[in-house]
Structure formats: structure tokens, C-alpha cells
Amino acid sequence: MILVTGGAGFIGANFVLDWLAGQDEPVVNLDKLTYAGNMENLAALKTDSRHVFVQGDIADGGLVAELLARYQPRAVINFAAESHVDRSILGPEAFIQTNIVGTFRLLEAVRAYWNGLASGPKQGFRFLHVSTDEVYGSLSRETPAFTESNAYEPNSPYSASKAASDHLVRAYHHTYGVPVLTTNCSNNYGPYHFPEKLIPLMIVNALAGKALPVYGDGQQIRDWLYVKDHCSAIRRVLEGGGPGEVYNVGGWNEKPNIEIVQTICALLDELRPRQAGGSYTSQITFVKDRPGHDRRYAIDAHKLERELGWKPAETFETGIRKTVQWYLDNPDWVSRVQSGAYREWTDRQYGQTAESVV
């Protein structure tokens, strides 16, 4: 048995689905079900007895302790997080509460549980904390990619809160001996991605005939990782990673945001041409850049490859095609996650600053 936190969100749900598709070991799935947590992501497991879902908060130490005592998991994988930079700028408190306070209380419950295990289970237990490359800050075009030894230089409330959670995880290993693992991943994309992030937002807006909002000049560079590759990396780290170690997970796909948007437009031009004719690129709209927008992230994943033999299976070209096709095949999922609150947020974030580009 493993315990997954945040397993109804984008990455967590993909992990749970992939885990149970590949093996019979049961999963206890703890998720608060905020706006980004969606039980429809887990619809395929509705009658699967290997999946035990519990609605709750990682900051509820009593609940976490109860679940640990009842199910006796051999590992905890922590996906639970507030994860959107723009939302953290508008309202940072939720990020502090979930990413810092929540991680602290989760670690406290895990520490007590781990201390009470018999020697065999205690030696085999792992706590895997899923984090982000954004904790490392921003890179220039010429600077080498982030390695695990890079100093932390977070530039947004989101990345600062994740950096704090990483430090807590490290401290619980070095102070208390808790056998932790940390992964820092690059930008994920793929199925079940809530349409506030760049790739699903572009797909959804394009199909709806809406503007495709691109911050600033669109030259912000990110490394892109197909979510199922990320899931396979986490499984490999859980299986073979050394306690206390940090592993960067990247897709070896550095691309500027405007190129991502243009690629999506080209795929939609091919797979779902506009009824009015012309290219979806005509919908691209540049908007005022967000405060403190990091210019470039890049992950050096050589340690994970060298020590654990992991490489991504997808190129960006294969992964983005699969992603666009998934959104084309699942319009009902998209329409149901776009609540009134979501529409109000996107209007507030992008609607007042759009400037059309011919």
C-alpha cells in the first residue's frame, strides 16, 4: 500500500492511473478537492477496490495520522500543492498554508508513523516529495541548466513556498532521519491538465475562438516534460533513489512560450481546422507580462539518468500531439472543469490587458 497526497490533481491523478495500470499495489489517495482537484480525473477507478479515495487536507495532521495508522503504507508520495504562479501573485496566503504549513504537518505525521514502525518496514519506508524547478530561480540564455546543487533563488510566492517545503523535507531527513526523496521537475503537460496553465489554456481557447494570451514577448523559455514521463521518473526514484537525495526530472525540451503556442496552433490547423478558415495563429494576443516573470528554466536531468537509468520516453513533438488529441477527444471533461469561478479568473487575469496582434 502507498499513500498519495494530491492524487486528484493533474500530475497526481496521472500518477495514480499509471500506477494501478502497471501493478496491483493499492493506493490510498488523499486530496482536498480544491478547484484543480477533480474526481473526473479518476473516473476510470470508480469501481476499483485498489483505489481508496479520502477527501481531506494534508494540513489536517490528525487525519493524516489516522490514515497512516489504518493503512500502514510503505511510502508516501506528496503531490499536494498550490501550483499556479499567477494565482500566487493574486493571493499568496493559500500557497503558504498548503505548501509550507501543509507540508510541515504532513512531515510531522509521517515522522511519528515512521518512528513507530518495526525495523523492517522502517528501513524500507520512503517519503517522496514532488517539487519544481522554479525553486532555483531564473536563468539567462547562456547559463547552464539547473543541477541539484544549484542554490535556491525563488522569485514568486509560489516558488518561494515550494522552496520552503523542500527545505523542510531536507531538514526532516538530516535532523530526524526520515528517509525522504525529493524530485524537482520542469513544466509538465498532458491529459487532465486544468486549463489555466499555458498548454491547455491555448488548446481550449483556440477551439472556443478566443484570444490566445501570451505574456510579454513570448520569449520566456521553459523545459517541457510529458506528464506520463514524469510519473515514470517518480516510480523509478521511489524504487531506487537514495534517502536524502534530490533528483531533477526534465524532458530535455527547452522552448520559448511563443513556439509552444505556434506548435499548438499548427496541430489544431491539421487536426481540427477552423470553420472560418485561416490559422489559429490569428488568435494569438500578447498581454502585459506578469510581475517577476522568470525568463528561463532548464533542467539538467543527468543525475537521474546516470544513477537510476531514467530517460523520458516522449519527445516534445510526440507528447504535444498526444496532448492536443486528448483535449479534442475529451470536450465534456473540459466543459465541466470550466466553472464560473474559472471563467471569472481568466477574464480578470488576461481580459483587461489584451492587445490584438495582426
Q: Which residues of 271-301 are buried (b: 16+ CB within 10 A; e: fewer)?
A: ebebeeeeebbebbbbbeebeeebebbbbbb
134 flagged as catalytic: yes
Are 227 and 199 a contacting pair, CB within 8 Å? no
Which residue reads 516522449 in cell numbers? 314
Strand order in the sheet with 180-185: 51-55, 27-31, 2-5, 75-78, 126-132, 180-185, 246-249
Question: Whole-angstrom Cα distance, residue 197 to residue 201?
Answer: 6
Single out the catalytic residue among 82, 86, 133, 229.
133
71 flagged as catalytic: no
Q: Which of 187, 186, 227 is nearest to 14 (CA)?
A: 227
126: left (phi over 0), alpha (psi -120 to 50) or beta: beta
88 to 38, 243, 339: CA distances (angstroms): 20, 31, 20
Q: Which of 146, 144, 3, 19 is nearest to 75 (CA)?
A: 3
Are 322 and 190 a contacting pair, CB within 8 Å? yes
Single out the catalytic residue among 57, 82, 86, 134.
134
Question: Whole-angstrom Cα distance, residue 91 to residue 247?
Answer: 30
Are 337 and 38 a contacting pair, CB within 8 Å? yes
133 flagged as catalytic: yes
Single out the catalytic residue among 31, 82, 86, 158.
158
Which residues have a catalytic role annotated? 133-134, 158
